[in-house]
Structure 1
Amino acid sequence: MVQITLPDGSTKEYEKKVTVEDVAYDIGRRLGKDAVAGIVDGKKVDTYYEIDEDVELAIITIDSEEGLDILRHTASHILAQAVKDLYDDVSIAIGPTIDEGFYYDFDLEESISKEDLDDIKEKMQEIIDEDLPVRKFVLPKDEAVQLMEDRNEPYKVELIEELEDDMISLYRQGDFVDLCRGPHLPRTGMVEAFELLNVAGAYWRGDENNEMLQRVYATAFADEKELEEYLKQREEAKKRDHNRLGRKLDLFMTSDIVGQGLPLLKPKGAKVIQILQRFIEDEEEKRGYKRTMTPYMAKKDLYETSGHWEHYKDDMFVIGDEDKDEEVLGMRPMTCPFQFMIYNSKLRSYRDLPIRYAETSTLFRNEASGEMHGLIRVRQFTISEGHLICTPEQLEEEFLGVIDLVNYVMETIGIEDDIWYRFSRWDPDNKGKYIDNPEAWHDTQEKMENILEKMDLEYEVADGEAAFYGPKLDIQFKNVHGKEDTIITIQIDFSLPERFDMTYVDSDNEKQRPYIIHRTSIGCYERTLAMLIEKYAGAFPTWLAPVQAKIIPVSDDQNSYADKVQEELQKYDIRVEIDKRDEQVGYKIREAQVEQVPYMLIVGSREEESGSVSVRDRREGDQGQVDLQEFINNINKEIAEKN
């Protein structure tokens, strides 16, 4: 007798062994039809998995989050099978699921074009229509290697050889075989709604020294309605994509002659960043930060002291050759070592602490060419960097002060509802990545965790994502395409005070080590600009808009009055332009709307006579004729309140 306990505590008994699918159908016909896998004693298994002893069982249905992941995983195998059927010389690499779908990487001499995706999709549909059984089988490791060698799959061979398993799990559908732990849909015919999205290049294992592969991105859903909704959202995301919209709005550009990851901010984009920088610098000064200005580069000796040379050198730009008898310099990847030198320039007392240093820092990171994207991933960027040096007793209060600053900034720029927190911790097994001091790691992580618990802050935990010198609290954000990025980090550092021999004299006249909090208050300005372009679809709040008002004369006769209006607005530091082109007023208004200018001020003979302007709001349309001073008062209030 086999007894199966279900999630609600009820049981089913069978005289002989049964499959997960049998149990699902026994519970209900609809459940049996929707079942895609099961969870047996905590382990995910296929629906045809046989149960011959007492177990706990949960059924995974196609409309659940886990079921969707299994659906997409099977669809990725169908994609790989289709490409194998269409191209003779292709080798397959990996095909994982991702947040909004899946992809598969292919080694193929012939380039896959967008037009080719139609052929691949058609072939996938044929495989789906065949309703092929998807079945797991296992082989001894050496036989699995031989199987993949015979099938000309070098990437699969490499993956299998790295596995510690004696028996290797594989899946077969028709003539196609892939390395996989599963589970999968029982049949290919259960994939009802899928779409191929685009093709991109990707290095094998993300290493630019490896082979460049072709990555086909795709998605799948349980039904056509969900797929259609997703595709509509994707089209909206394309419209908001900062890489496209930022160029259209004349905010930034890139140039092959200048180089990858080195965007050029045009006047409007530079103005937005200037506004943000001034806002941040003024706010930091109100909160007791002292501003520093430090070099863009330093001798390698500084980075050897900090540990960056050992742990971060591959991500740095290095000037000079270590193998030759010449001075070697590194472009700074962060500002902390420089500010620590300033701290060490004189003896410090506990009465001097906390010291809060801030700097608008230009930094340099040697990003791989395949990783760079618009303003989000670049090789040179500017950051609101700061370091707080404090006593152990001050650590909690200073950390809370940083959180308060960050929350205020996020609320002011309007993304407080779009962010979440991640506690990034040390991975003790990755010894090469981190400073080797387990006791200090445990102590510092415990301190940060206690602070977060006292704040009652909701956060995710990410082991292995800490900085090499300490744990950190990351503020996470997703771009319009669903890709997650870290926009702000706050770190507690136990290591660098020791490395730089930083001390203060306590009340007993004894030297002590301070604690350091590394933080940004708005993160990387370029990335923030990208985030705001996408958040507001280019329609920045008035206080951030590079042009806050555009004056549109009805005819050349009003050009002189338009000049006077502009002069009056500029007295109040309102950013304003005049459109004096020989075009129709309606055309000028439409162009100003496309440029996302918050206010259009139309001036004709009536406005000139009365000293007024006719106001058009980019969102609400015509606001009627308003006295010029009244408009100035209204827009100044809006700007001051940062609405």
Structure 2
Amino acid sequence: MWMLDRKLKLSDLLSKEYSDRSDMSIQITFPDGATKEFDQAITGFAIADGISSGLRRNAVAIEVNGELWDLTREIEADASVDIITRDSDKGLEVLRHDAAHVMAEAVKELYPETQVTIGPSIENGFYYDFAREEAFTPDDLVLIEARMREIVKRNEAIEREVWDRDDAIEYFKNLGEVYKAEIISDLPVDEQITVYRQGDFLDLCRGPHLPSTGVLRDGFKLTKLAGAYWRGDSNNAQLQRIYGTAWADKKQLKEYLRRMEEAEKRDHRKLGKAMDLFHLQDEAPGSVFWHPKGWSIYQTVQNYMGAKQYAHGYQEIKTPQVVDISLWEKSGHAAKFSDDMFTLTTDDRDYAIKPMNCPCHVQVFNQGLKSYRDLPLRLAEFGSCHRNEMSGSLHGIMRVRSFVQDDAHIFCTEDQIQSEVKAFIDFLHEVYADFGFDEIIYKLSTRPEQRVGSDEVWDRAEQALELALNDNGLDWELQPGEGAFYGPKVEFSLKDCIGRVWQCGTIQVDFSMPERLGAEYVAEDGSKQVPVMLHRAILGSIERFLGILIEQHAGALPAWLAPQQVMVATIVTDANDYAIEVAKALRSAGLRAEVDLRNEKIGYKVREHSLQKIPAILCIGKREAEEGTVAVRRFGSKAQNVMPLEEFIEQFCTEVDDKQVFDIEAS
């Protein structure tokens, strides 16, 4: 009975007969407040068709009282609805989920012995984990994708069915799908079991799904193979994961693939190796070996941030790497993050290697009596932290186990929250502009269901953050319930030149930790009060931020950041002495300059140093030596400009001091 032939045409849905319910009146309320009454149950698909044929073609799901439903599911009571279209964020999530199901159907048709496990939508795409003894190959991906396109052309109806739990378990066990049976067995006893049917393929799923496979269209592609463990546990069976991407149409898919091709060229791991910046090795997983040029960039960024923080009223401190576990128990970190902490035992005491800096900063605050006149107190640290990230999640210098944060904590009164947050946002904008980022996304995360502190205090804290964002004239997005348990927060994400979003900066309001760790100050009335603690970072992890920078600029860092700012290259050996004098003059001006005296052709030297993306190459020949000039070649330009050495130094130093971002395309 489960293997019926179910092909679907959109007209079948529109002509579906509803049972007569003369005594029924259903009121549908739309997002703009408009209402419409129906005298019988109605589907989202019929509602969309009643509005316009264009909406019907682009609809993929319907939101009913805040819950996503299939378009073919009947609405039988008054409801607020919103038609979800394929180009919306929610619509893309539905398309990607369906792409995973279509992929699973294709795999089962091509390789019937394979077991399907789970297949969710993810950012920009989807994946499905499969249990199969024989390994999938890239050639298999070609076949699977081709079969997916066949399934889309079949336009198979996708239908939701509610099943009895025991029947569902028995059905999947009889198919040999032990993973699906296990999932059902582990679901809460009161949870409804829904199965979706498309053609001869049935899959356990909450939904929602498209009306038919044809609605998926052609905006999808399989991308890669990977390994995975059942339920993410390394103690369980290893599965095979197939990743794919899916979009509203082929045009969006093409644009995404172009961005991914560009991202591949900009991969910081490849550029780091080509430019001799750093390396990673198995003996120190998740830890970076910085080479001289890479460390130069690192120090430049850290020194820049140190100077900026000092100018904005921060005092820099340094706290221990290894701290007794009792401090982390008092702060609450041991209970919540123990799996991510590296620990050790010595002298019969248990210690943790510092995973974050905040509890240690409270210890500095606690030394000596503090008055309200001392607040706000801004303590900053380039804190070296270690977290036991899963090996599978490590990614170059973007995701590591050992990293340094541009961390700071502001101890203040409640009345000072708004002004401190506003000042921090101004500070953050200065920094991001200097690094060449001008598109920032702002998100305000408010109180979660489980939290500490009274609603009155949360009201004041959330209002302070909101007012600070508004005072800066910023457009921001609300994330209800996404705040930390100890207070609300604002997240700052950077959008890079190829459209990727990186969450870097944050400021968080904390009412909990200062009290847990005994922080107090003497208020104006003489009473002892607990300060509010603002956790803030602009770069976040310096390692990760450098990875973002390298990819943003495709390795061609602005002159002020470049590890080698100027290369002096001789054309003839007669110019060697002058070239050495030029390099000395550049270094005396504070520039990072090297000299290339090798007996090689100048074209070879220029090509080699251009591959290292050095901002300026000064070509020195006999004429330049005689006239006291330099022939300047800027990275990304084939033009050569001859000028006096003093003039070049003045111009280049101005560019470095002003943190100018070199525009390769404009050159």
Same fold (TM over 0.5): yes
Contact 1:549 1:598 in 2 (8 A): yes
Query: TM-score normalised to the size of structure 2?
Result: 0.86
Of stretches 163-172 and 487-496 in structure 1, the one that deviates more from structure 2 is 163-172
Alpha-carbon separation, structure 2, partners of 1:18 and 1:336: 55
Alpha-carbon separation, structure 2, partners of 1:522 and 1:531: 10
Is 1:217 equivalent to 2:243 in the alignment?
yes
Match of 1:295 in 2: 320
The one-letter code of the counterpart of 1:397 is S
Alpha-carbon separation, structure 1, partners of 2:318 and 2:38: 76
Give the alignment's Cα RMSD to 1 decimal: 3.1
Match of 2:351 in 1: 329
Match of 1:542 in 2: 559
Is 1:150 equivalent to 2:174 in the alignment?
yes
1:121-147 CA distances to partner (integer Å, 9 max, x unpaired)? 222233233332222222122222222
Alpha-carbon separation, structure 1, partners of 2:365 and 2:37: 72
Q: Note the 1:25-424 alignment, pairs <5 A.
A: 32-38=56-62, 44-50=68-74, 60-62=84-86, 65-160=89-184, 161-163=186-188, 165-190=190-215, 191-258=217-284, 260-320=285-345, 326-417=348-439, 419-424=440-445
Alpha-carbon separation, structure 2, partners of 1:443 and 1:364: 34
- SS of match in other structure, 2:639: strand
Is 1:579 equivalent to 2:603 in the alignment?
no
Alpha-carbon separation, structure 1, partners of 2:177 and 2:530: 56
Structure 2 CA distance for partners of 1:464 and 1:273, relative to 1, 3 Å: farther
Alpha-carbon separation, structure 2, partners of 1:48 and 1:256: 52
- SS of match in other structure, 2:209: coil
Shift of 1:18: 6.7
Which of residues 509, 514, 523 in structure 2 aligns to 1:492? 509
Contact 1:103 1:217 in 2 (8 A): yes
Alpha-carbon separation, structure 2, partners of 1:369 and 1:464: 30
Which of residues 602, 614, 618 in structure 2 aligns to 1:597? 614
Alpha-carbon separation, structure 2, partners of 1:625 and 1:364: 50
- SS of match in other structure, 2:161: strand
Contact 1:522 1:528 in 2 (8 A): yes
Shift of 1:337: 2.3
Alpha-carbon separation, structure 1, partners of 2:429 and 2:44: 49
The one-letter code of the counterpart of 2:642 is Q
Shift of 1:25: 5.5
Structure 2 CA distance for partners of 1:400 and 1:312, relative to 1, 3 Å: same
Match of 1:520 in 2: 537
Alpha-carbon separation, structure 2, partners of 1:439 and 1:497: 18
Shift of 1:629: 0.6
Match of 2:569 in 1: 552
Structure 2 CA distance for partners of 1:220 and 1:577, relative to 1, 3 Å: same
Alpha-carbon separation, structure 2, partners of 1:213 and 1:89: 14
Contact 2:419 2:468 in 1 (8 A): no
Alpha-carbon separation, structure 2, partners of 1:189 and 1:369: 39
Of stretches 204-213 and 248-257 in structure 1, the one that deviates more from structure 2 is 204-213
Of stretches 399-408 and 436-445 in structure 1, the one that deviates more from structure 2 is 436-445
Alpha-carbon separation, structure 1, partners of 2:484 and 2:414: 20
Alpha-carbon separation, structure 2, partners of 1:69 and 1:58: 15
The one-letter code of the counterpart of 2:157 is P
Shift of 1:209: 4.7
Shift of 1:601: 0.8
Shift of 1:47: 4.4
Work out the number of aligned pairs and report it.
Answer: 634
Which of residues 630, 648, 656 in structure 2 aligns to 1:639? 656
Match of 1:618 in 2: 635
Contact 1:140 1:166 in 2 (8 A): no
1:196-227 CA distances to partner (integer Å, 9 max, x unpaired)? 11122334444445444322111233443332
Contact 2:323 2:351 in 1 (8 A): yes
Query: TM-score normalised to the size of structure 1?
Result: 0.89
Q: Identity percentage over the alignment? A: 41
Alpha-carbon separation, structure 1, partners of 2:389 and 2:108: 33
Shift of 1:425: 3.6
Alpha-carbon separation, structure 1, partners of 2:498 and 2:138: 19
Structure 2 CA distance for partners of 1:481 and 1:151, relative to 1, 3 Å: farther
- SS of match in other structure, 2:657: helix
Alpha-carbon separation, structure 2, partners of 1:347 and 1:26: 71
Shift of 1:611: 0.7
Contact 1:208 1:370 in 2 (8 A): no
Shift of 1:58: 5.8
